[in-house]
Amino acid sequence: MEHRRLGRTGIQVSEIGFGAWGIGKAWWGKTDDTLSVRALIRALELGVTFIDTAQAYGDGHSERLIARAFQEAKHRVFVATKVPPKTREWPPKEGTTAQQAFPADWIITCTEQSLRHLDAERLDLQQLHIWRDEWLGETEWLEAVRRLKQQGKIRFFGVSIIDHQPGSALELVKSGLIDTVQVIYNIFDQSPEEELFPLCQAHDVGVIARVPFDEGGLTGSLMPDTIFPPKSVQSFYFREDRLRETCERVDRLRPLLGGEIKTVAQLALKFCLSHPAVSTVIPGMRRPEHVDANCSVSDGRPLAPETLAALRTHAWPRNFYQ
């Protein structure tokens, strides 16, 4: 497993991280906790040292499974979690203030709950689960973060950027108030490269690349007739004619496979890791075989320049979350 520096934190983390949304028993259909814990332990065995979760993932269920895996493995690694907006709106409605989404007492309460779920004395990285740059003018959220740092309850702080809106945190990155940003970045959504990534490099802010598989589309395993569990995130994301169009676009990527890159999933992860601004990429993993496949991509070698140039033509701006 190759490691990269997580921005100004100075921490070296595995370039393949563990995305723990899917194990949280929310939005992804039925899950098997025993398999989820086995997947986490397998990730630790293969050198994964970064796990991303959130209190909203099953109302703390994902966090509790991570604590269980640590206990069974007798080994802990760097964990990033998130404070959900008190309004429970992703994205927030226009005009929502930081005081409404993230009042100080809410940030503190959620942090203390995550500490209990994770059986930890301090969170490695606490993040706000959404962000708007207009909130920079408010101070209550920042005062809460500073208080938690002073109390030793959180070590580092960052934000998760609203879906497909990498421009919504540019001023925050410039402010020097955060250590990391988490952002959607994949073959279809390459927009963070335009402004966000250069700013993160200039201000030494770590980048956590999420949704590398476009909610499963870029695994290459979905078919136009794939049936998703009712009320799952995929049944919503790929509703109507979206799955067919996604599969057609994925098929156009297959001519780029060959040599060491044998699957669309490998190509997708390699694309993310080929940008020097990316500190770690966090594919969702619910089974040990997912872990084996994803971790095998880490070899320290970026995609060839000609492959990256070809992938530029596959950018597909859209928002399936709407």
Q: What is the CA 221 to chain-centroid distance, rounded?
A: 21
d(CA 322, CA 320): 5
The reported pTM is 0.97
| Average pLDDT of the chain, as a whole number | 97
Output the pLDDT for position 165. Answer: 96
Please provide residue 181's backbone torsions phi and psi, each rounded to the nearest 5 degrees: -130, 145
What is the domain partition of the chain in residue ranges?
3-312
Output the pLDDT for position 76. Answer: 97
Residues of the chain with pLDDT under 50: none
DSSP letter at 59 equals T
Packing angle of the helix pair 305-312, 264-273 (nearest 10 deg): 100
3-312 fold: TIM Barrel (3.20.20)
Give the strand pairing for 123-128 and 3-5: unpaired
Output the pLDDT for position 225. Answer: 96
Amino acid occupying residue 211: V
DSSP letter at 221 equals -
> Using alpha carbons only, what angle is made at residue 318 by residues 81 and 246, rounded to the nearest 5 degrees?
95
Please provide residue 108's backbone torsions phi and psi, each rounded to the nearest 5 degrees: -65, -45
| Helix (H/G/I), strand (E/B), else coil: 139 | coil
Give Cβ neighbours of residue 16 (< 8 Å, ≥ 6 apart): 1, 48, 269, 280, 281, 283, 294, 295, 297, 298
Quick one: which of 7, 15, 8, 18 has its CA closest to 42? 18
Give the tens place of pLDDT for each residue, 189-236: 999 999 999 999 999 999 999 999 999 999 999 999 999 999 999 999
DSSP letter at 16 equals B
Output the pLDDT for position 29. Answer: 82
Output the pLDDT for position 49. Answer: 98
Give Cβ neighbours of residue 112 (< 8 Å, ≥ 6 apart): 153
